[in-house]
Structure 1
């Protein structure tokens, strides 16, 4: 499906009906990665409408020349949520760079976000990022991107990568991402911290964003749970699906109680 929001036509897929759940992927991929990972968690929960957009410049969402900063992308995502979801309060999940935008969306429109989940979040001020280390597998299968992304390098993880991650590479508009990346840092928001049910999940072996900066969020969000998962890297949603399911199920229960 596609929907115009300003000068951006956003491509997205959705499943189910009920309370909306907006799921944002990271950089260099498209909706297929988050769909493959988070449908394992969400498709068994009744009453959820799961929405997976391609972010601008990735997948089938073209980034026009007018998008020149992360702030422009944020505005497009807020407009997309307004158009597709309307006035209903929605759940918001982000992985990697998607989590960066999810934080800003919750800060900008807290009344519209019923719950916030941040998985391997990309954050300003990253620190103590560990060196990449393989914990399962020979470290000799797959391409260079797979070997630098996954810490569990089994044939099963390679199959997931080749089905749900690698195909997006051909659709990435590198020029657009570079243009936006020149102004990648969002304008600081000085509103009070988002106060709804929040969960932060980080991989202890995440050599892309680390886990140290994510731990700071426990003091930022007044109703946040934090989990740092061993034997998981930036591909945590692929590598630890059962644990992620348990953490998000608990988060969904807190969302239900709060509403």
Structure 2
């Protein structure tokens, strides 16, 4: 039986960029990054739905971090082949992006890690939960199920924050497979920390965290820098877990600089 390819949306042509979303979301979470690429030629964007999310097939065996990583590797091998490529990973996708570096080495040009998962629950150093803006009337008007998940994640609970959440977060939450998500929670961390497998990676890397991110925090990610000698690190104020939705212009500027650095390296 032929293995079903992970669902993905593709834009542009040139150097492949694999974009990996987080837990219980789908590729639509990362589509707000498109304006960064629209300003630049030469990037083939592959927005992927991870197994059991969006329109992608479920895993055929146990749902573990290793199985998720293997599914992404198979996708990359089929769709990208042996071309050099870059990776953008947010939250859980950030762990998978680092796994790709461990597995594919110098074929990975660099990564952009947005609020990446690096430590298991219970071992993270987290800031206290903060809500920076809240429109009580708006929040009260929402469907109870939508209100619960929005209020549990968003630091900006106003009209702008809700529109971004509604358009880019909720669709994936509604589409993911609940049983698989519950199974993954029991084995969501890779058995081996990716950096222990390769030591250092010399490509350009970007790491963006939110000072108000109460889910994965911003302190633990600092430890990654010793493994990426050319990594830019930013802990952005006014930002929760969905960093690119809370301060889009700041994150887009950082991502654009990372892409320009990758392109400059390639031209040398």
Distance between the aligned counterparts of 1:12 and 1:67, measured in 2? 22
Instruction: Quote the Cα distance in structure 2 between the aligned partners of 1:21 and 1:117.
Output: 10
Rounded Cα–Cα distance in structure 1 between residues aligned with 2:151 and 2:50:
25
Instruction: Determine helix, strand or coil for the equivalent of 1:23.
Output: strand
Alignment-derived partner of residue 185 in structure 1: 189
Written as runs of structure 1 = structure 2, the 5 A alignment for 1:152-231 is 152-188=156-192, 189=194, 190-231=197-238
Query: How far has the Cα of 1:8 moved from its partner?
Result: 4.8
User: Do 1:139 and 1:147's aligned partners in 2 also have CA atoms closer than 8 Å?
Assistant: no
String of CA shifts for 1:197-246, please: whole Å, max 9, x gaps: 11100000001101011111122211111000001000111011110111
1:130 and 2:134 aligned: no
Is the CA contact 1:152–1:239 (under 8 Å) kept in the aligned structure 2? yes
Asked whether the 8 Å contact 1:25–1:96 carries over to 2, the reply is yes
In structure 1, the partner of 2:22 is 26
Q: Secondary structure at the match of 1:216?
A: helix
1:245 to 240, 248, 252: 252
Q: Per-residue displacement from partner, 1:44-71 (whole Å, max 9, x unpaired)?
A: 2111111101001111112133143111
Query: TM-score under structure 2 normalisation?
Result: 0.89
Tell me how many residue pairs correspond in the alignment: 254
User: Hey, what's the Cα distance between the residues in 2 that align with 1:220 and 1:111?
Assistant: 14
> Counterparts of 2:60 and 2:182 in 1: how far apart (Å)?
12
Tell me how far 1:7 sits from its aligned partner.
4.1
User: 1:139: Cα distance to partner?
Assistant: 5.4
Please state if 1:88 is matched with 2:75: no
**Structure 2: any 5+ residue segments left out of the alignment?**
none
Residue 13 (structure 2) aligned to one of 17, 27, 51: 17
| Residues 205 and 232, structure 1, Cα contact 8 Å, conserved in 2 | yes
Pair 1:233-2:229 in alignment:
no
Instruction: Please give the alpha-carbon distance, in whole angstroms, between the structure 1 residues aligned to 2:118 and 2:213.
Output: 13
Q: Report the structure, 1 or 2, having the larger helix content.
A: 2
SS state of the match for residue 109, structure 1? helix
Q: Mark the runs of 5 or more structure 1 residues left unpaired by the alignment.
A: none
Instruction: Please give the alpha-carbon distance, in whole angstroms, between the structure 2 residues aligned to 1:112 and 1:43.
Output: 24
Check conservation: 2:200, 2:226, Cα contact below 8 A.
no
1:44 to 16, 25, 39: 39
Aligned-partner Cα distance in 2 for 1:208–1:139: 23
SS at match of 1:121: coil
Q: CA RMSD in A?
A: 1.8
Between 1:64-73 and 1:133-142, the stretch displaced more is 133-142
Q: So what's the TM-score if we normalise by structure 1?
A: 0.92
